[in-house]
Amino acid sequence: MKAHVTAHKDYTVSRIDDRLYGAFLEHLGRAVYTGIYEPGHPTADENGFRGDVLELVRALNVPVVRYPGGNFVSAYNWEDGIGPREDRPVRLDLAWHTSETNEVGIHEFADWCQAAGTEMMLAVNLGSRGLDAARNFLEYCNHPGGSYWSDLRAKNGRREPWDVKLWCLGNEMDGPWQVGHKDAHEYGKLAAETAKAMRAFDKSLELVVCGSSHSDMPTYPEWERVVLEHTYEVVDHVSLHMYFRNPEKNTANYLALNHKLDRYIGTVASAINYVKGKKRSKRDVYISFDEWNVWYHSNKKDRAILDGGNGWPLAPGLLEDIYNFEDVLQVGCILNTFIRRSDVVKIGCIAQLVNVIAPIMTERGGPAWRQTIYYPYYFASIHGRGTALNLLVDCPGYDSDHDDNVPYVDVSGVHNEEEGTLTFFLVNRHGTEAIDVEVRLQGFAGGTVIDHQVMTHTDLEAVNTTANQQNVRPHSGSGARVADGALAASLPAYSYQMIRVRL
Ligand code: AHR
């Protein structure tokens, strides 16, 4: 099978916001406790942060981490996580039916972000709380000093403000499962008033308002219209979430799901434009896709804890999906979609970062290792920065439950002018046929392949484990070359590839 792709230097989508490659870390399961934080672990530093995890996170060059939830934030008192550790209360976490010791709070998370080389994206609780708790939290984090909350921060050991610019106005407020769930009008009004108060403190904040939890929600996309009509002039991004699943083991349908994702983004972009037009507004609002990943492998196992059958355990294993090779292809397709829609999607957060539906897994007292999906996320984060190209793709396709004529090759391209490189991320969705791809490079002078990484496996269900951490990993590819103004490569059946060209 053959595929023809055209890349033209001037035919671009957008400059990619580096924050497209962000991540999410929630007080959930073992994400925080025994994930990033485990005092006594052989690699732990003086703050109790696991050095092995920090190393894997630093390698990803994660630009931003959303915290502390997720569903958790909707019943969270941020004040529980400040002050002397011995005075911090143990609380029942209603979202995940567990106990929260509050050993890690905003100070510890900020220290961890500094060690990891990333920025904070904080969420305020608009479920069980509201505007008042949000404005106090903001003052605690960002005011230099001389006020009640900023002086308390200094007393708790941090004189300099953190000056966090990116804030989420609650989490998934459209979801009936959310503590303090609201309808679109109730939430829209609360979000607008909270945003107004936060902006009264600092006009330069970037605020993210809750959109839909997923595109099958009965309130979608009316939710976006109503919420934006309340908030358009005071927010910068609409938050969207989507999780991908394949319980039926139908690979063709599974790998077409990014077409549903693409439609979701397009529909919400239309809702944004509709409200912009209706309000005769000059400002732009973008999409923050701040929860996305594969999530289904652990569903059955988690039921007992979530139903309360185990009482209120401390940091139990929850949402510990073990990813397989098929999920590599899925994550490659998802990231390609974000790159192709980087004109409207400015922030993306893989959900989550450690242990909980995560690219990085740990064992209590033991090693940390890379799940299969670590790699496509790694390649996109490291090499997917620059300008997204608007590629013309001519490739045979197949019909799926989510779309017809889904091309067998899913591809995105990024031009990094500073580095003088072109990077292509390609997935072959065909299960039995290799595909010869030719990418015509128009408007670019010359080029040499400088890096070619391939992921294939004989078993779609192959996973990495503590005992076999290298089972699914990239290998250097061969055969990709640039000649006569075109890049040529062969994609084996069910494969992921990254090809980089120096111009
Ligand atoms: O990431 C796991 C959960 O998924 C988050 O807490 C919630 O926002 C979403 O439903």
Confidence at residue 178, expressed as pLDDT on a 0 to 100 scale: 98
Predicted TM-score (pTM) of the model is 0.98
Q: Note the pLDDT tens digit of each residue in 388-442.
A: 999 999 999 999 999 999 999 999 999 999 999 999 999 999 999 999 999 999 9
The span from the CA of 286 to the CA of 271, in Å, is 11
CA-based nearest residue to 288, from 239, 242, 246: 239
Ligand 1 atom nearest to 243, measured from its CA: 4
Confidence at residue 69, expressed as pLDDT on a 0 to 100 scale: 97
86 catalytic per annotation: no
Q: In terms of DSSP bridges, do strands 448-455 and 475-476 run parallel, antiparallel, or are they unpaired? A: antiparallel
The span from the CA of 472 to the CA of 169, in Å, is 38
419 catalytic per annotation: no
Give the angle 455-457-463 at the CA atoms, nearest 5°: 95
The span from the CA of 380 to the CA of 63, in Å, is 12
Ligand 1 atom nearest to 177, measured from its CA: 10
Ligand 1 surroundings by CB, under 6 angstroms: 26, 69-71, 171-172, 213, 241, 291, 351-352
Residue nearest to atom 4 of ligand 1 (CA): 70
Q: Does the N-terminal peptide bond of residue 352 adopt cis geometry, omega within 30 degrees of 0? A: yes
Residue nearest to atom 8 of ligand 1 (CA): 70
Q: What is the whole-number distance in angstroms between the Cα of residue 289 and the centre of ligand 1? A: 13
Considering 291, 326, 418, 433, which one is annotated as catalytic? 291
Confidence at residue 150, expressed as pLDDT on a 0 to 100 scale: 98
The span from the CA of 197 to the CA of 167, in Å, is 13
Q: What residues have CB less than 8 Å from 151, skipping those under 6 apart?
A: 145
The span from the CA of 128 to the CA of 120, in Å, is 23
Helix (H) or strand (E) holding 187: helix 184-201
Q: What is the whole-number distance in angstroms between the Cα of residue 502 and the centre of ligand 1? A: 40
Pocket test for ligand 1, best of 97, 212, 241 (most atoms within 8 A of CB): 241
Confidence at residue 168, expressed as pLDDT on a 0 to 100 scale: 98
Q: Note the pLDDT tens digit of each residue in 367-390.
A: 999 999 999 999 999 999 999 999
**With contact defined as beta carbons under 8 Å apart, do 369 and 464 qualify?**
yes
The span from the CA of 59 to the CA of 61, in Å, is 6
CA-based nearest residue to 83, from 155, 167, 131: 155
Q: What is the whole-number distance in angstroms between the Cα of residue 171 and the centre of ligand 1? A: 8
Confidence at residue 490, expressed as pLDDT on a 0 to 100 scale: 97
**Along the chain (503 residues), what's the average pLDDT of each consecutive run of 10 residues?**
98 98 98 98 98 98 98 98 98 97 98 98 98 98 98 98 98 98 98 98 98 98 98 98 97 98 98 98 98 97 94 97 98 98 98 98 98 98 98 98 97 98 98 98 94 98 96 96 97 98 97
β-sheet bridge partners, residue 414 = 388, 423
Confidence at residue 446, expressed as pLDDT on a 0 to 100 scale: 82
